[in-house]
Structure 1
Amino acid sequence: MAASDYARPPKNPDSEIWSAAALSEAVRRAGKEATKAGPSTERSQELPYFQRYGIENERGWESSDRTSSPLEVQQRQPYFLESSSLRGEAHPSTTSLGIQARRDFPALAQRVNGHRLIWLDNAATTQKPRVVINKVHRFYETDNSNIHRAAHTLAARATDAYEHARSVVARFLGSQSPEQIVFVRGTTEAINLIAHSAGQRFITEGDEIVVTELEHHSNIVPWQLLCERSGAVLKVLPVDDRGNLRLDALYRVIGGRTKIVAVTQVANSIGTVVPVCAVSAAAHSVGALVVVDGAQSAAHFPVDVTELDADFYAFSGHKVYGPTGIGVLYGKRNLLETMPPWHGGGSMINQVTFERTTYAQIPAKFEAGTGHIAGAVGLAAALEYVDHVGRSAIERHEHVLMEHLLETLEAIPLLRIVANPDVRAGSVSFVVDGFEPARVAAHLDRHGIAVRAGHHCAQPLLRHFGLVATVRPSLGLYNCLEDVETLGACLRRLVRSS
């Protein structure tokens, strides 16, 4: 079952079903063929930085604009409206998606410790495609200005770019209106905003807030702080020993005093895909609000907040191939309109006197001060890039990679995969007997493989499995079967060394 099918209401049952085994073999063949015929990265390391990455000169003009200055190009058409597509044709199929996509990411052209960089730390952050880097660069080069409330040309252009980004995000999430999209620094800030603002509006002493055992600390600690302020009680939906959410406990834990249910769509540490629609139905049956942490899902499969019936949904730009420091909070209009502001300052006001202040309409009410304007531009470019590749194609591609990754890890002596959820996306955690996770990660790094070692900001879940730390490889659209096979070979060498 595809992760997106598990995470949202079922689609047409007669729709095409991919054979994972056949697809895996096709991807394996394509990966080996492309590896034999692919360009060498040795010579690219000898070139200057700006030539390696397809830039005309040190000023960063794109090689496609050889006859025009950045300003002339911008005047022909706003750069933020240009296609955020790949160079050349769209990826034709999942069989070569990772190999082709890799070429769009400059950071992946480098060698680390003498080896081709294999980035398997995507749950922590993703690398950025050239189109994102270029559009952020061009914003600063041609349109840098603060937004709104100014009469000059650059302010108008910067405002257009920022609000265009909001519209792109709304389409990406299936939001009914861009006004339901609030720009924040990331998922952590979005959840804190809800805990403060919705908490102030809706939570009183004795109310209950429900989280799951799968959560990242960012979807636990803000609710604990709210409970300390308000006198509310935090309750936890448990997982079973396979790492699945205990759906049989939904109606035992969620009850008449429940006011907020906060749930991840994909667990960042073990990759469990949560059936959010079932959780949402249980929460709404008692009148509770549903907060969905989408930090680990937005990059891996299609998301539609209307289908999920989420009251709030949050994700971070840097985990979906966009810049750091920019994220999104989606909220239902009626809720956002009734919630008080979180931060006070410029941009979020209507009228200010020493006696009282009235506030701007949504979303400005929640965007005090100067936001990450260039970050929003880059985020829009990233989401358009993902949509050009195709979110369903990415989901199929990563499903094949995940199956091969699990098979590879299961065959390695002394290695134990942590949890075996029914549906998994993005991440796998494992431990190797006799080796601390940090030592395993350091060994992989010496061979150019980047993974994460530690508690992954999910200490309660790791304690459930009797662990303090794990090794976590996590997948992105630019990974391929060769990456998985190289990881496996490197781990086997480590085990043999013992």
Structure 2
Amino acid sequence: MTVTTLRNLAAITRGDFPLLDQEIHGHPLIYFDNAATSQKPRQVLQSLQGYYEYANANVHRGVHTLSNRATEAYETARNKCAELIHAPQDECLIFTRNASEAINLVAYSWGMTQLQPGDEIILTVMEHHSNLVPWQWVAQRTGAILKFVPLTTQETFDLQHYQSLLSNRTKLVACSYVSNTLGCVNPVAEIIQSAHHWGAKVLLDACQAVPHMVVDVQVLDCDWLMASGHKMCGPTGAGFLYGKPELLRQMPPFLGGGEMIVDVFLDHSTYADIPHKFEAGTPAIAEAIMLGAAVDYLQNISLDAIHEYEQELVADLWQKLKAIPGIRLLGPPPPERAGLVAFTLADIHPHDLATILDQAGIAIRAGHHCTQPLHRYLQVQSTARASLYFYNTVAEIDRFIAVLNEAVEFFHGVLRDEPPSL
């Protein structure tokens, strides 16, 4: 794909996103909160209506035509998600409500049953709470020990320190593929290879990777990987867990109920094979179908094209933010980062910045981004975060920078007790 085509990627796709065609407080909406949730194209929205108008029935349980339609659409969506991450088999892909549920599934089904006192779990200081809290519970209940990889001076994963933590006591390494705060792309191939050398399993939180770049679980050789549908042009309430089939078959069910059984007696039950063993009850059928439609949409654009385009955008954003006096940018500079930038600005609270930007129609995130330990590690209470996707433009970045500079001037005037200029 040529640079010209890449620069037109937003122009090609933007018309597919009806939500973006609106004004906020009298200004055209600029949506820079994509790391929290992405917007949904019309094709995905239409798949929801199509299911309810044409195939609304429960899956796997009926022999009538509507049930067969629903089952086929649901399992086709599973196949699309499996192909997206290059999973070797569809049954390796389990639908969950979100990535948090996927991590909890592994924590309860594998962690609570396999770990013993003295076993070690290696995490990082940059982890999202969803990849931290469940392992705290596992450690509390099993006697396992948590260890943490710090950051380098460039605020990236410290590979050398990680290597020093590994030993024959290491049973699990759980880390993010891409930090949702630092934006750094972690060296996951080296992380996995080193962990496997010691016989440890590896879980990857790929929520900030799968929507933005090609991810191949077979090349990586990770043991588990999860993603969240609402961050990849899909619906809320739908995510997935990939696991190596031999691991998934060894793990006991996470939830009990319908769909995950073979036979039920009054005093015991036998369980279905994967993936159904982990999908108790009526699943989120419509949401899974929408997620499949989102995968189609991303694949039609090409994840390579999305990644290249976002690299152009974030390089532009980084350079323009860097020029603002008093700003602190978290994480490494491009090209060693994904399409998001978290920052602080002198004495201005991120919530105040976000409020001023919202008045100008610009949506960013302000807070700790579900990474409170990381913020404490970096000695900042909270940060502002601008996160990009393929439907954003350089013109939107320019508008964002202009309003941000106006906000800085306004707040500095207030701090100097001068009349406000906004």
Q: TM-score range by the shorter chain?
A: over 0.9
**Residue of structure 1 in register with 2:385 after alignment:** 472
User: For the residues of structure 1 that align with 2:11 and 2:153, how far apart are their CA atoms?
Assistant: 36
Q: Which moved more, 1:413-422 or 1:161-170?
A: 413-422
Q: Distance in 2 between matches of 1:463 and 1:100?
A: 41
In 2, are the aligned partners of 1:241 and 1:465 still within 8 Å (CA)? Answer: no
Mapped to 1, the partners of 2:304 and 2:159 lie a distance apart of 27
Q: Secondary structure in 2 aligned to 1:125?
A: coil
Task: Give the TM-score normalised by structure 1.
Answer: 0.81
When the two structures are superposed, what TM-score results if normalisation uses the length of structure 2?
0.95
Residue number in structure 2 paired with 1:440: 353
Distance 2:144 2:408 in 1: 49
Matched, 1:101 2:9: no
Equivalent in 173, 182, 190 of residue 270 of structure 1? 182
Q: Output the CA distance in 2 between the equivalents of 1:274 and 1:492.
A: 32
Runs of 4+ in 1 over 6 A off after TM superposition: none
CA distance in 2, matches of 1:466, 1:251: 25
CA separation in 2, counterparts of 1:255 and 1:427?
Answer: 34
Match of 1:68 in 2: none
Q: From 63, 69, 73, give the equivalent of 1:161.
A: 73
Match of 2:418 in 1: none
State the AA in 1 paired with 2:357: L
Q: Secondary structure at the match of 1:103?
A: helix
Quote the residue 2:416 is aligned against.
Answer: none
Q: How does 1:404-483 map to 2 (within 5 A)?
A: 404-420=316-332, 423-483=336-396
Matches within 5 A, 1:327-476: 327-420=239-332, 423-476=336-389
The number of residues matched between the two structures is 410
Alignment correspondent of 1:143: 55
Deviation at 1:207, TM superposition (A): 0.5
Please identify, of 242-251 and 225-234, the stretch whose mean Cα deviation from structure 2 is larger.
Answer: 242-251
Q: Is the 8 A contact 1:296 1:426 kept in 2?
A: no
Any residues of structure 2 matched to 1:63-82 within 5 Å, and which? none
CA–CA separation in structure 2 for the residues paired with 1:99 and 1:403: 19
Distance 2:105 2:305 in 1: 33
**Structure 1 residue 424 displacement after superposition:** 0.5
Partners of 2:299 and 2:327 lie apart in 1 by 36
Give CA-to-partner distance per residue, 1:455-480, whole Å, 9 cap, x none.
Answer: 00001111121101000000111011
CA contact (8 A) 1:180 1:331 kept: yes
- What is the distance in 1 between the residues matched to 2:328 and 2:25? 27
Distance 2:182 2:140 in 1: 29
Give the gaps of 5 or more residues in structure 1.
1-15, 27-92
- How many angstroms does 1:251 deviate by? 2.0
SS of match in other structure, 2:286: helix
Cα drift, residue 431 of structure 1: 0.9
Cα distance, 1:226 vs structure 2 = 0.4
Give the C-alpha shift of residue 421 in structure 1.
5.3
CA distance in 2, matches of 1:123, 1:240: 23
Residue 102 of structure 2 is aligned with which of 190, 200, 204?
A: 190
Listed as ranges, the matches of 1:246-325 within 5 Å are 246-325=158-237
Q: CA deviation at 1:420?
A: 2.3
Local SS of the residue matching 1:146: coil
Q: What is the rounded CA distance, in whole Å, between the counterparts of 2:273 and 2:37 in structure 1? A: 33
Preserved CA contact (<8 Å) 2:112 2:141: no
SS for the counterpart of 1:416 is: strand
Structure-2 separation of matches of 1:466 and 1:335:
39
The partner residue of 1:213 within 109, 125, 131 is 125
Contact 1:250 1:282 in 2 (8 A): no
CA contact (8 A) 2:183 2:331 kept: no
For 1:248 and 1:437, locate their aligned partners in 2 and report how far apart those are by CA, in whole Å.
Answer: 33
Q: Look up the equivalent residue of 2:379 and give its one-letter code.
A: G
Cα separation, 1, equivalents of 2:256 and 2:313: 46
The one-letter code sitting in structure 2 at the alignment partner of 1:439 is D
Gaps of 5+ in 2: 413-422
Tell me which amino acid in the other structure corresponds to 1:401. L
Counterpart-to-counterpart distance in 1, 2:305 and 2:250: 39
Q: Which amino acid aligns with 1:199?
A: G
| Alpha-carbon distance in 2 for matches of 1:130, 1:448 | 22
Percent identity between matched residues is 44
Aligned equivalents of 2:150, 2:46: Cα separation in 1: 45
Task: Tell me if structure 1 keeps the 8 A contact 2:87–2:217.
Answer: yes
In 2: Cα distance, 1:167 partner to 1:112 partner: 38
Deviations 1:168-197 (A, max 9, x none): 011101001000000001110000000000
Corresponding residue of 1:70:
none
Aligned to 1:487: 400
- How many Å separate the matches in 1 of 2:173 and 2:54? 44
Cα separation, 2, equivalents of 1:244 and 1:478: 27
Q: Structure 1 residues 236 and 421 mapped into 2: Cα distance closer, same or farther (>3 Å)?
A: farther
Q: CA RMSD in A?
A: 1.2
Q: What is the CA deviation profile of residues 80-112 of structure 1, one whole-angstrom value per residue up to 9, with x for unaligned ones?
A: xxxxxxxxxxxxx21100122111101001111
